[in-house]
Structure 1
Amino acid sequence: MDFLIRRALPTEYEDLGTLTAHAYLDDGLLDYGETDPYLPVLKDVASRAAAAEVLVAVDGDHLLGGVTFVQGPGPVADIARPGEAEIRALAITRTARGRGAGEALVRACIDRARATEGCTTIVLSTQSSMHAAHRIYERLGFVRTPDRDWNPVPHLDDLTLLTYQLTL
């Protein structure tokens, strides 16, 4: 592995927010592009870091990607229930894809979930078009939980998020 996984530094929050926003925009994952209401959430790494653990993959001083690990229900969680941790906002730069940074970030979240007292499951939400992410999740043992699929914007029928879980 030619990169390091570690906690994001406050000085990296802005760059990670930009990286995450661009990953979602460039992959066509935001229905309204630059005016999508989710874009400010993706950019706001400081708020996620205040309530959860934000991890980054770095190669020297070059940011490759990041993810948010949420220890359980709370202000940053979307679907976590008691006893569950949640993965949010996984994003890798286009130039770093295929190097294993996404998988390494997910593995780091799994390790943190296993080290969290009382945590028995890790959950996540994903869009149906995020095929590369689905392959990572399934390779690491996550299984689909269609009964937990949900829609963050109920008036948009085509925005149902798929859910996965890993029992620890």
Structure 2
Amino acid sequence: MLFGALIVLGCAFASAAVTLRMGAEEHGALAVQTDLQAGHVLTAADLRVVKGSMDADLVPPGKAKSIVGRHTKVPLLAGTLLTANAVGAPAFPPPGLAVIGVAVKPGQYPPDLAPGDRVSVTPIPEVGAATKTKPVVGVVTKVDRPEQPQNPAVVTVLLPQPDAQAVSIPAAQGLVSLMQISPEMP
């Protein structure tokens, strides 16, 4: 009788262990380790497992092998939980929008500028010349700060395509300033 009770207890513990192990695999999701640009090819090193309850749209840890080697559709910030909709053919920038790189020196942009901030991109007129290009409003998608302070930073900005074309030349030459604006401003 004692032997039978030990067998029942052993089976109960084994069942609980298997159930907990299976539950741990089902409860969690994949997140990205670092900031990734749209079109980045995912590798195993880009991903980490986050424990917690599972949302239907999140990619579970067990599906990591199926997404490695696929492209990201949109830029993803470090720590973003990965959804099935974030993987596939790149869909960034959206239709009608463009991404430009803006070369800016210290003093031409707020030092704490970060992805997601709204900015006004204002061309700097040459001395004695009237500016022909008006400021345009965009959203920062990336900030690459230089290792050497005398070098310009490159701020990547998402803008309506016509606005991007209007400021692309002065932006590439470092002849613009960026002003962070409120998210509520039109």
Alignment TM class, shorter chain as reference = under 0.3
Please identify the structure whose Cα radius of gyration is greater. Answer: 2
Q: More helix by proportion, 1 or 2? A: 1
TM-score w.r.t. length of structure 2: 0.23
